């Protein structure tokens, strides 16, 4: 591989990112109800939040040592807890020790944190212990939480205390008020739309985060989907540009476009997801079309072009990809998925997008070359079309998967007509490896649209995202398996992020109906 020529621009790109740092909007949200958690077996995750009395009555309640109460803010938000604490005595005789636990779901709220057994660090759980040396006092908890529910535990106090003006100081780069759903939606689709734009709003912070509870990071894969939803709702294009400048500014010394940026203490790139890197050209193309500004795409075009060399390097003449550099070929959180056809088709799809971008930027020669190469990869992939089933098979074991068909459709390996048939055929092959994340689900829905199968798209949107709504969601989750309420990619559903960027695209599908 030729050594990249754009590395010396990283510092300048970083400065562009810094200059676009957003001013966050703030909105004080008071809790709606004091609740209890009731364990009801047949419900999702076996529990429900039952209102006990209006939270407006909270300032009249006195709490003594060992007492706990639970709050429902009525809406999932992101921000800092703020409250005033008063003691029944005019002066207090000892400090106050309070414990807070912020939760996104009733199940999380009811959990015994001591029993946490996930693979990710327990420190993701949104706990905070504070000691107050005097009262009355106004406090803002130091860390930002993503929450709908809050547990307040009065660990140790001299006598009784009470709380007032308790609220979440909501924060977002988007306005607190959600954009209205597009006209003509029924109630279920309206609810899906609202949850989608709320998810997006909550993830819009100093960058487009993947999840405001966990891991609060800018991921390119999530960003691309957020940018789609953003383009038809908040239209905060400077934030998209900031994120792309940031990612580009963190480009690795070998020229690889990083999959994520960890922002603190100072921005640094992390993770080498090959499919994400290849998609950069598409992200730039879409941003250019949505925003009408070519400046960013012009600057990052060479970077997007360069990513394909990492793929070419491992690509054999027969279309198999040898992962020489141990990239993470993500595509979905699914270990058994054979990734040969999906990555080849994804590369072809990405390169075709880069060709369009090249055309737009006036690089005609590049455009021709990329189109030809994308077509060559398409043909390589097409060799794996099962002549009987009319479905693509992947890898040595000729695996059937949704991912192969979806990426095959998006890349044009299958024509829309063939795609339509393939999507139907999948219904009869439940043994095919299924999508496990909302991320892969997004591409399934895109594939439906490409094939013109709006009925299937809407049916799946209702089943998948409507299914989360029916199970209590008002933001969409990182992980959802309708058959397993306790499914987690991390060994414990307490680790799951229940407001997750890659689930924010229903608003895109609902606003771009043909």
Token code pair at residue 340: 């040969």
Q: Which is nearer to a copy of itself, 193 or 222 (CB)?
A: 222
The only residue of 8, 93, 112, 428 in contact with a copy of itself, by rule CB under 8 A = 93
Q: Binding of a copy of itself at residue 82 (CB under 8 A)?
A: no
Does 252 contact a copy of itself by CB under 8 A?
no
Structure tokens given for 298: 């012009």
Region from 6-14, 42-50, 211-219, 284-292 binding a copy of itself, contact rule CB under 8 A: 211-219
Q: Check residue 114 for interaction with a copy of itself (CB under 8 A).
A: no
Strands (E) across 467-508 are located at none
- Which one of 265, 387, 430, 514 is in contact with a copy of itself (CB under 8 A)? 265
The H or E element spanning position 165 is strand 161-172
Nearest to 401 by CA among 319, 479, 345, 324: 345
Contact call for residue 308 and a copy of itself (CB under 8 A): no
Q: Which is nearer to a copy of itself, 67 or 471 (CB)?
A: 67
Nearer to a copy of itself, 158 or 416 (CB): 158
Instruction: Give whichever of 156 and 389 is closer to a copy of itself, judged by the CB atom.
Output: 156
Any residues with CB less than 8 A from the CB of 386 and at least 6 apart, and which?
392, 393, 398, 400
| Burial class for 146, CB neighbours closer than 10 Å (0-12, 13-18, 19+) | buried
Give, as one character, the DSSP assignment of residue 433.
B
Nearer to a copy of itself by Cβ, of 129 and 313: the residue is 129
* Binding-site string for a copy of itself from residue 26 to residue 65, where x marks contact by CB under 8 A and - marks none: ---------------------------------------x
Contacting residue, 19, 40, 56, 268, with a copy of itself by CB under 8 A: 268
Q: Are 362 and 420 in contact (CB under 8 A)?
A: no
Of 164, 188, 215, 366, the residue at the interface with a copy of itself (CB under 8 A) is 215
Select the residue interacting with a copy of itself from 63, 101, 124, 149 (CB under 8 A). 124
CB of 264 to a copy of itself, least distance (A): 4
We find the least distance from the C-beta atom of residue 122 to a copy of itself, in angstroms, to be 4
| Dihedral class, residue 377 (left if φ above 0, else alpha if ψ from -120 to 50, else beta) | alpha
The answer to whether 123 contacts a copy of itself (rule: CB under 8 A) is yes
CB of 136 to a copy of itself, least distance (A): 6
Nearer to a copy of itself, 64 or 417 (CB): 64
- Unique residue bearing structure tokens 């703030």: 26
Q: Residue 91 interacts with a copy of itself (CB under 8 A)?
A: yes
Q: If binding is defined by CB under 8 A, does position 120 make contact with a copy of itself?
A: yes
> In this chain, which stretch among 53-61, 68-76, 130-138, 230-238 interacts with a copy of itself, using CB under 8 A?
130-138
Find, among 12, 7, 2, the residue nearest to 246 by Cα: 12
- Classify strands 137-140 and 218-219 as parallel, antiparallel or unpaired: unpaired
Q: How far apart are CA 386 and CA 78, in angstroms?
A: 48
CA separation, residue 382 to residues 323, 406, 414, 422 (Å): 21, 13, 8, 13
> Contact between 129 and a copy of itself (CB under 8 A)?
yes
Which one of 14-22, 119-127, 226-234, 476-484 is the stretch in contact with a copy of itself (CB under 8 A)?
119-127
Least distance (Å) between residue 114 CB and a copy of itself: 11
CB of 86 to a copy of itself, least distance (A): 11
Nearer to a copy of itself, 97 or 235 (CB): 97
- Measured CA distances, 278 to 113, 164, 310, 318 (Å): 40, 52, 9, 20
- Residue 80 or 97 having the CB closest to a copy of itself: 97
Does residue 17 interact with a copy of itself by CB under 8 A?
no
Does position 157 bind a copy of itself by CB under 8 A? yes
**Residue 218 in contact with residue 246, Cβ under 8 Å?**
yes
Backbone angles phi, psi at 192, to 5 degrees: -60, -45
* Options 7, 14, 262, 361; binder of a copy of itself; rule CB under 8 A: 262
DSSP per position, 315-341: B-TTS-B--TT--B--SSS-TT---HH
Q: Which residue has the tokens 């800018």?
A: 218
User: Rounded CA gap, 315 and 347, in Å?
Assistant: 11
Q: How far apart are CA 242 and CA 27, in angstroms?
A: 24
φ and ψ of 161, to 5 deg: -130, 165
Helix (H) or strand (E) holding 33, with range, is strand 33-39
Is position 151 an interface residue for a copy of itself (rule: CB under 8 A)? no
Which one of 175-183, 202-210, 262-270, 419-427 is the stretch in contact with a copy of itself (CB under 8 A)?
262-270
Task: Please identify which residue in 156, 360, 361, 458 interacts with a copy of itself, judged by CB under 8 A.
Answer: 156
Q: Which residues of 251-269 are buried (b: 16+ CB within 10 A; e: fewer)?
A: beeebbbbbbbbbeeebeb
Q: How far is the CB of 261 from a copy of itself (least distance, A)?
A: 9
Q: Which stretch binds a copy of itself (CB under 8 A): 90-98, 104-112, 231-239, 467-475?
A: 90-98
Which residues in this chain contact a copy of itself in the complex, by CB under 8 A? 65, 90-97, 120-124, 127-129, 131, 133-137, 142-143, 155-158, 214-216, 262-265, 268, 270
């Amino acid at each position: 591989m030729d050594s990249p020529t754009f590395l010396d621009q990283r510092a300048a790109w970083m400065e562009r990112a810094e200059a676009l740092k957003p001013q966050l909007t703030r909105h004080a949200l008071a809790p709606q109800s004091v609740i209890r958690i009731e364990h009801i077996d047949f419900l999702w995750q076996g529990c429900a939040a039952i209102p006990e009395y209006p939270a407006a009555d909270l300032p009249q309640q006195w709490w003594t040592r060992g007492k706990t109460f639970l709050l429902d803010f009525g809406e999932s938000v992101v921000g800092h807890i703020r409250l005033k604490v008063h003691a029944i005595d005019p002066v207090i005789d000892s400090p106050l020790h309070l414990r807070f636990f912020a939760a996104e779901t009733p199940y999380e709220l009811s959990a015994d944190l001591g029993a946490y057994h996930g693979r990710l660090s327990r420190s993701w759980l949104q706990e905070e212990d504070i000691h107050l040396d005097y009262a009355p006092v106004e406090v803002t908890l130091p860390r930002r939480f993503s929450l709908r529910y809050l547990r307040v535990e009065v660990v140790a106090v001299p006598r009784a205390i009470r709380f007032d003006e308790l609220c979440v100081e909501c924060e977002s780069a988007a306005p607190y008020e959600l954009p209205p759903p597009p006209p003509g939606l029924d109630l279920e689709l309206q609810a899906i739309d609202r949850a989608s734009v709320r998810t997006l709003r909550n993830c819009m912070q100093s960058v487009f985060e993947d999840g405001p509870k966990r891991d609060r990071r800018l991921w390119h894969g999530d960003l691309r989907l957020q940018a789609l939803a953003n383009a038809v709702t908040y239209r905060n294009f400077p934030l998209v540009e900031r994120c792309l400048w940031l990612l580009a500014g963190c480009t690795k010394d070998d020229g690889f476009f990083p999959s994520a940026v960890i922002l603190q203490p100072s921005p640094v790139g992390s993770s080498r997801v090959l499919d994400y890197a290849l998609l950069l050209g598409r992200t730039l193309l879409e941003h250019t079309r949505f925003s009408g500004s070519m400046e960013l795409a012009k600057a990052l075009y060479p970077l997007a072009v360069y990513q394909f060399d990492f793929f070419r390097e491992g690509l054999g003449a027969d279309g198999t990809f040898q992962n020489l550099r141990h990239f993470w070929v993500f595509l979905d959180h699914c270990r058994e998925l054979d990734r040969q056809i999906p990555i080849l088709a994804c590369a072809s799809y990405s390169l075709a997008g880069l060709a369009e971008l090249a055309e737009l930027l006036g690089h005609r020669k590049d455009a021709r070359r990329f189109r030809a190469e994308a077509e060559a990869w398409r043909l390589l992939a097409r060799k794996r079309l099962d002549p009987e089933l009319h479905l693509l098979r992947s890898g040595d074991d000729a695996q059937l998967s949704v991912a192969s068909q979806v990426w095959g459709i998006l890349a044009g390996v299958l024509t829309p007509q063939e795609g339509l048939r393939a999507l139907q055929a999948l219904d009869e092959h439940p043994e095919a490896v299924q999508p496990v994340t909302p991320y892969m689900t997004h591409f399934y829905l895109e594939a439906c649209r490409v094939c013109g199968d709006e009925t299937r798209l809407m049916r799946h949107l209702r089943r998948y995202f409507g299914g989360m709504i029916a199970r209590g969601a008002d933001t969409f989750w990182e992980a959802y398996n309708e058959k397993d309420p306790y499914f987690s990619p991390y060994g414990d559903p307490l680790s799951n992020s229940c407001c997750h960027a890659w689930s924010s695209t229903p608003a895109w599908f609902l606003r771009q109906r043909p």
